[in-house]
Amino acid sequence: MIWVETLINGALLGGLYALLGIGLALVFGVMRVVNIAHGEFMVLSAFCAVLLSNLFPQVPPLLMLIPVIALSFAVGWLYQAVIVNRVVTSPDPLSPLLLTFGVSVILRNVMVEIFGADVRSLQVGELSRASLEIAGLNIGIMPLLTLVLAALLFMALQLVLRHTEFGRIVRATADRRDIVRLSGVKPDRVYNYVMGLSLALGAIGGVLLAVRSSFTPFSGAERLLIAFEVVVLGGLGSFWGALLGGIALGMAQLIGLKIDPNAGLLYAHLLFFIMLLIRPSGLVSSRV
């Protein structure tokens, strides 16, 4: 029974992990850039949420998601416009990778210097401890809500990309950056919006993860690695694949923690590496 509970909780955690991955997948899918600073931006949004909830203690902390999401969108837009767009068309595929890695180092150390290296978390009071009991299984309300939210967001994103004008423009730009210009689309501007959207999605994941577990300015690296593993495990083409990948990683992590309480992310990393060994063709061929 305890194992069933672990698996269910792993699946719920997976919803959150999928949220971490989806922003990364979106940017990669549209502009072929792996944004290494994605994890640091998530941590930054968590710091913003903590700051805001300290400033306005009477407002429920989860409502802080709204300004943080808006802020993250703006930051993403600027980040793309000022920095990433300059290398996105570089003939060398490594340039964006190195550039975003540089940005991640800057952000991490700025956060260390401004916020200190202390362990933080976002307190949401009763909600974080509330749980449901279904058929003798103890299931947290907060993780359940997170999974539902993740699924809703995935559906919404799917709808936007498939059925709206904006979605068509984004998909067209992802396919042929050079050809969309003929229809009056400015690819760089589309990229700005996509990066904004990606960081907004990352902010939701970052803030919700800050409720669930504590974080420091150094947490960006592990968030990036989880996000990346979600994307690769799920296969890049599909959002639902990312959800499955997240759930697999969440389960692996919680089962690992049951076996060995201070394993951290080791078992999630191991699952990823084993998948790399036994299913490489699926991993490599699943380019968008």
Partner 1 sequence: MPTRTVLLASTIVFVALIASAPFVLNEGFLRLATECLLLLTMAQMWNLLAGYAGLVSLGHQVFIAFGAYALFLTSGWLEVTPIWVLPVAPLVAGAVAAIIAFPLFRLRDAYFSIAMWVFAEIIGAFTMKSQEVGGTSGMPLATSKLIDFDWFEPTMFWLAGGLTLVTIAALYKVMTSSFGLGLMSVRDNDLAAMSVGVDVRHNRFIAFVLSAAGCGLAGALSFMGNLFIAPLAAFDVNWSVYMMFIVIIGGIGTLEGPILGVIIFFGLRELMTGPLGLSGGWYLVGLGIIAVVVMIVAPRGIWPALRDRLGVRLLDVHHAAPRPATATILPGASERVTG
Q: Which residues bind partner 1 (CB under 8 A)?
A: 34, 36, 83, 86-87, 90, 92-95, 97-99, 101-103, 105-106, 109-110, 112-113, 221-222, 224-225, 228-229, 232, 260, 263-266, 269-270, 272-273, 276-277, 280, 283-284
Three-state secondary structure of 93-141: CHHHHHHHHHHHHHHHHHHHHHHCCCCECCCCHHHHCCEEEECCEEEEH
DSSP sequence for 27-90: HHHHH----TTHHHHHHHHHHHHHHHHHH-TTS-GGGGHHHHHHHHHHHHHHHHHHTGGGTTT-
Of residues 169 and 226, the one with the C-beta less far from partner 1: 226
In the complex, the smallest distance separating the C-beta of residue 87 from partner 1, rounded to whole angstroms, is 7
Token pair, residue 35, equals 């944004």
Of residues 112 and 148, the one with the C-beta less far from partner 1: 112
In the complex, the smallest distance separating the C-beta of residue 190 from partner 1, rounded to whole angstroms, is 21
**Residue 202 CB-density burial (10 A; 0-12 exposed, 13-18 middle, 19+ buried):** buried
Of residues 79 and 154, the one with the C-beta less far from partner 1: 79
Token pair, residue 92, equals 């060398």
In the complex, the smallest distance separating the C-beta of residue 269 from partner 1, rounded to whole angstroms, is 5
In the complex, the smallest distance separating the C-beta of residue 288 from partner 1, rounded to whole angstroms, is 13
In the complex, the smallest distance separating the C-beta of residue 168 from partner 1, rounded to whole angstroms, is 27
**What residue has token string 């429920």?**
60
Of residues 119 and 148, the one with the C-beta less far from partner 1: 119
Of residues 166 and 218, the one with the C-beta less far from partner 1: 218
